[in-house]
Amino acid sequence: MVQPAPPSTRFGTAGLVAHELHFRAMGTDAQIVVVGAEADLAIWASDRVAALEAAWTRFAPSELGALAERPDVDVPVSDEVFRLVEASCTAWRATDGAFDPTVLAAVAALGYDRTFDEVVDRDSPAAPDDPTEVPGLGGVVLDPAQRTVRLPTGVAIDPGGIGKGLAADLVTDEVVARGAAGVLVNLGGDCRVAGASPDESGWTFGVEDPFAPDDDLAVLSVSDGGVATSSTRRRRWRRGGEEVHHLIDPATGRPTASGVRSATVVAGAAWWA
């Protein structure tokens, strides 16, 4: 993560002081707003985002990535890694596998095998004709009492679909626990808010029109919860002269071709959205 500039401070229309940070993290633009607390808490929150990124990233050696190197073994893990794998399994089961973070090999086969900033500037060779298998999470074993994770051989987890939302949730809860009256954490469109907004309008989110990015289709008002948007219009690159995107259909191992360009979900937590 690039070290952010010092937070900006303002008094909102609701009479509350807010400290706001903008920075890059998890391969995307990040924003943190802390209300009714010291500016140092906003800096602490950005450091927590960086720590979660380091634990989960697939673009550098990480604790999560190391799990795939020890297949069929109960591996003790940190609370942050356990929470991510647990949330991934919950979402996989709840969607009957439509959400599947074991698409990692399929994404890499399409050329997304390094940070997006590196991928977008090159045209990789064509992907293999045979689709890459997406094994699913059915064989993953979690032991909450011992805080261990066992991944089957051939299974690796891509945190990209759930990690930013979970990070927003964890950091939001921790900032509130440290005394903030309110907080917003926005990691590339995976957002979580809690508590008081600095403005009388409350916490609001514009839903971007995927065909006219400068326009909003709607404006959402959320008092406490998560908002997440996924779009095939973002994170696109060229593979063998063909434009592809990062949203993989687990049934085919290929970029989804459903015709849906963007989806926005509001839920009680950002990881669930």
Q: Which pLDDT score, from 0 to 100, does residue 30 have?
A: 97
State the DSSP H helix or E strand holding residue 26, giving kind and residue range, or none if neither. none
At the top level of CATH, the class of 8-267 is alpha beta
The contacts of residue 101 (CB under 8 Å, 6+ apart) are 88, 92, 137, 157, 158, 159, 160, 161, 162
Q: Which of 81-85, 119-123, 130-134 has the highest mean pLDDT?
A: 81-85
Q: Give per-residue pLDDT as tens, 196-237.
A: 999 998 999 998 888 888 889 889 999 999 999 887 677 666
| Burial class (CB within 10 angstroms; exposed 0-12, middle 13-18, buried 19+) of 130 | exposed
Query: What pLDDT score was predicted for residue 13?
Result: 85
| Beta carbons of 270 and 168 less than 8 angstroms apart | yes
Q: What are the distances in angstroms from CA 213 to CA 65, 192, 219, 220? A: 34, 22, 14, 17
Q: Which of 233, 225, 203 is nearest to 269 (CA)?
A: 225
Q: For the chain, give me the number of helices (H) and strands (E)?
A: 6, 17
Is this prediction's pTM over 0.75? yes
Question: Where are the domains positioned within the chain?
Answer: 8-267
CB 68 within 8 A of CB 152: no
pLDDT digits (tens, 9 = 90+) for 27-45: 899 999 999 999 999 999 9
